[in-house]
């Protein structure tokens, strides 16, 4: 597989203390409904809905595509119990946060500035950052762009890379369906918005541990004229790691604004390197760690990813793969994932 087919402004900040809300969220663990504390934070020209709980050093958790803060539902309480202030935003374009329609509102500079803006709004001098999927790409770049405030960084599922034109149009894939190229068109938004339940069933299964390894990559067996949901299998039931209530909440986060904002992230990939030319060849100097599922198809994008990945860090504490997991680590293997996060936070305390 071509190694290059991979993906995943300084803010003005105001925090609405008077608009802080407490919301009941359907999270059926042990049969109990879990209450979460949200803050609406204005930063960098947008308003972000952020779960903020606990006291202590600040840890920010970043979801990816197509998720929301809710992907981290199993990790929040253990981190709070371990003595951290945990902030989990719906990132720009998602859930209860602002979702500007313009593609230019989702550059890597704006996405990373949003995260440091959360830190400043909450009154902290520094923070530790953990990202998953596209949130991982934001996390790696935040560490590079905000070295003085981001004190440690951990990634889940998507290794560090510099995305280029080959990411969108991989060599030899001209006639094959490739989702990143497909996402450059708003045709993708229309398809995914047409039936949100079906979209999430197919996307959850396609990258989840319940599908055969390589399911996500079967898209390459189809012509480029196809649509995403046409090239992936549709499961008969939800996977065992998500309840119907969890699924309904996840889908509801997309009912207001749909997929346009989230998929605009991909439409900024052509400008990623030119906007951050100063980062070319620059290693991440902060303490770092990485975990992924052994069966994650994203790791198939570059079969030599491990060798290239380790050269991008000056202080990589550990790299671990979780057996029996694919892409959705936080919900497929919540205990193992949380334990690795706590291990990292303890090492860099």
Q: Which of 63, 132, 272, 327 is catalytic?
A: 327
Question: Residue ranges of the alpha helices (H) in 207-328?
Answer: 244-252, 260-264, 269-275, 305-310
Residue 288 corresponds to which tokens in the numbers above? 């770092």
For residue 36, give the H/E element and its range: strand 32-43
Judging by DSSP bridges, how do beta strands 150-156 and 288-293 pair with one another?
parallel
Q: Measured at the alpha carbon of residue 326, what is the angle toward residues 5 and 53, in degrees to the nearest 5?
A: 105
By the 10 Å C-beta count (0-12 exposed, 13-18 middle, 19+ buried), 212 is classed as exposed
214: left (phi over 0), alpha (psi -120 to 50) or beta: left
Q: At what angle do helices 134-145 and 108-121 cross, to 10 degrees?
A: 70
Q: Which of 90, 114, 133, 246 is catalytic?
A: 133
Residue 24 corresponds to which tokens in the numbers above? 């009941």
Q: Are the C-beta atoms of residues 313 and 282 closer than 8 Å to each other?
A: no
Q: Measured at the alpha carbon of residue 240, what is the angle toward residues 239 and 243, in degrees to the nearest 5?
A: 90
**CA distance to 36, 105, 113, 334, per residue, from 108 (Å):** 29, 9, 8, 28
Question: Residue ranges of the alpha helices (H) in the chain?
Answer: 76-81, 108-121, 134-145, 165-168, 179-182, 187-194, 196-206, 244-252, 260-264, 269-275, 305-310, 329-332, 334-347
Any catalytic annotation for residue 132?
no
Any catalytic annotation for residue 186?
no
By the 10 Å C-beta count (0-12 exposed, 13-18 middle, 19+ buried), 65 is classed as buried
Q: Which residues are catalytic?
A: 133, 327
């Amino acid at each position: 597989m071509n190694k290059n087919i991979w993906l995943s402004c300084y803010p003005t900040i105001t925090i609405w203390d008077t608009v802080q809300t407490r919301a009941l969220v359907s999270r059926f663990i042990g049969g109990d409904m879990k209450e979460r504390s949200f803050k609406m934070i204005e930063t960098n020209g947008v308003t972000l809905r952020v779960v903020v709980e606990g006291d202590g050093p600040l840890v920010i958790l970043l979801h990816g595509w197509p998720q929301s803060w809710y992907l981290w539902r199993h990790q929040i309480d253990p981190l709070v119990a371990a003595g951290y202030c945990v902030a989990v935003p719906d990132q720009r374009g998602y859930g209860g946060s602002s979702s500007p329609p313009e593609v230019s509102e989702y550059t890597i500079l704006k996405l990373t500035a949003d995260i440091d803006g959360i830190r400043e709004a909450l009154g902290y001098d520094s923070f530790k950052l953990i990202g998953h999927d596209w949130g991982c790409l934001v996390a790696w770049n935040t560490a590079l762009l905000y070295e003085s405030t981001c004190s440690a960084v951990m990634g889940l599922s998507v290794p560090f890379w510099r995305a280029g034109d080959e990411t969108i149009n991989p060599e030899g894939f001209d006639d094959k369906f490739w989702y990143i190229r497909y996402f450059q068109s708003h045709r993708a938004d229309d398809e995914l918005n047409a039936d949100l339940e079906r979209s999430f069933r197919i996307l959850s299964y396609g990258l989840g541990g319940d599908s055969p390894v390589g399911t996500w990559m079967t898209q390459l067996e189809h012509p480029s004229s196809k649509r995403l949901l046409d090239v992936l299998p549709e499961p008969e039931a939800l996977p065992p790691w998500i309840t119907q209530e969890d699924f309904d909440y996840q889908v509801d986060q997309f009912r207001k604004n749909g997929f346009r904002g989230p998929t605009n992230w991909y439409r900024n990939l052509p400008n990623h390197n030119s906007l951050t030319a100063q980062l070319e060849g620059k290693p991440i100097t902060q303490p770092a760690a990485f975990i992924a599922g052994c069966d994650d198809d994203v790791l198939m994008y570059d079969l030599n990813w491990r060798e290239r990945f380790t050269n991008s860090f000056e202080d990589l504490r550990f790299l671990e793969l979780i057996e029996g997991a694919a892409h959705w680590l936080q919900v497929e293997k919540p205990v193992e994932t949380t334990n690795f996060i706590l291990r990292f936070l303890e090492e860099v305390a």
